[in-house]
Amino acid sequence: MSALPSSQINEEEDLFLVANLTFKRTGLPFVVWISPRGNARHDVHIKVSKGPRATPGEMTRVGIRPKVWVVEGEIEPHDLELLTRWIELNRDVLIRYWDGDIEFTEDAVAALRSI
């Protein structure tokens, strides 16, 4: 049995920490994935995908501070504009969840606002 590279292990472990948010919750035409920091060594980010059954390679990673910026992947300009509006409405909740100040996913999801 071969061992997985440590970067792949962290990515697989982090998949268990994410919550996917649908149009009903966000008002966005794509799925938003939020998570606590977990094993991450980078600043707060979220991920987006076209649907709920996306692999990590199909997701776009977006940093949210100090401004919204695409870290990895691609997103249509109009979708990035919508996502930016949503992040601005929810930046505090996203950061507090990332930092562990909001301990439970259900509390973070309940605090998020739709555009």
39-88 pLDDT, tens per residue? 888 999 999 999 999 988 999 999 999 999 999 999 999 999 999 999 99
Rounded Cα–Cα distance for residues 91 and 96 (Å):
9
The residue ranges of DSSP E strands in the chain, in sequence order, are: 19-21, 31-34, 45-49, 60-63, 69-72
How would you classify residue 100: left for phi > 0, otherwise alpha for psi between -120 and 50, otherwise beta? left
Predicted confidence (pLDDT) at residue 93 exceeds the cutoff of 60 = yes
The identity of residue 35, as a single letter, is: S
What pLDDT, on a 0 to 100 scale, did the predictor assign at position 16?
52
Backbone angles phi, psi at 46, to 5 degrees: -125, 170
Collect all residues with Cβ–Cβ distance below 8 Å to 19 and sequence separation of at least 6: 33, 34, 35, 105, 108, 109
Rounded Cα–Cα distance for residues 7 and 56 (Å):
12
Cβ(47)–Cβ(33) under 8 Å? yes
